[in-house]
Structure 1
């Protein structure tokens, strides 16, 4: 099984200043606030100039996530992202289990309603009549 590594990008949608911390958090699959706290702690605990240089280098070098998705044809179908990530640790990225269960329950309920509409249409007399006319 081959795993494809996603590129390190600036997350301009979830970022506060330039999206560098949000991009690093997305790359490693951890929460944004944790990366921001680590960055600020390193900034104030003696690694200030090094952290600033790395941050500005990331700001300049890393491509924006929205621009990258647009250039590689990440087409959204209007329904958003269908995946649900459940977090098991506080620092992991994703939804808490209770919220994920509610999210999935809502998705399944909407799919159930769509399926009922399709079944109602297929079993209707209008559908049967149109099908018979198309056979002629």
Structure 2
């Protein structure tokens, strides 16, 4: 597993201030709007200075997200799934490989069984 894709990064591209909320949204797969709303509510209702201190520490501690971290939108969703539930993602990948293996076995069976039509076509080409 590529550790750079499972690491938390600040998302400077979608940042309002430092990219902490956008980074959390990218890491978890939650919409950035809801992460920002939760941050504002946490700041207002809980300990006001501590949430800002935590935000500032996160902004100074983490690296910005590399521009080419994901190849496509599908790649981004896959890695967000890995971060959210590695066991479920591994199960899904195993399931896909089983399906591919089953399809290959079906193709092998078709082409290795006695297929007179295919044999006749091959003979006609000679």
Question: How high is the TM-score relative to the length of structure 1?
Answer: 0.48
Q: Give the whole-Å Cα distance in 2 for the aligned partners of 1:19 and 1:75.
A: 16
- The DSSP-based 3-state class of the residue aligned with 1:64 is coil
The answer for the alignment partner of 1:10 in structure 2 is: 10
- Size of the aligned set, in residue pairs, is 75
Deviations 1:39-89 (A, max 9, x none): 0001111321111011000110010003xx5xxxx488xxx625285xxxx
Runs of 4+ in structure 1 off by over 3 angstroms are 2-5
- Any gaps of 5 or more consecutive residues in structure 2? 78-126
Higher share of residues assigned helix: 2
Q: Give the whole-Å Cα distance in 2 for the aligned partners of 1:54 and 1:16.
A: 16
- Any gaps of 5 or more consecutive residues in structure 1? 86-136
Whether 2:102 is the aligned partner of 1:83: answer no
The RMSD of aligned alpha carbons is: 2.7
Q: Give the whole-Å Cα distance in 1 for the aligned partners of 2:73 and 2:49.
A: 41
Q: Give the whole-Å Cα distance in 2 for the aligned partners of 1:44 and 1:34.
A: 15
Q: Which has the higher contact order (CA 8 A, sep 6+)?
A: 2
The change in CA–CA distance for 1:60 and 1:82 in structure 2 (over 3 A counts) is closer
Instruction: Give runs of aligned pairs for residues 103-122 of structure 1, distance below 5 A.
Output: none
The answer for the alignment partner of 1:127 in structure 2 is: none
Deviations 1:78-119 (A, max 9, x none): xx625285xxxxxxxxxxxxxxxxxxxxxxxxxxxxxxxxxx
Q: Give the whole-Å Cα distance in 2 for the aligned partners of 1:33 and 1:26.
A: 12
The change in CA–CA distance for 1:57 and 1:75 in structure 2 (over 3 A counts) is closer
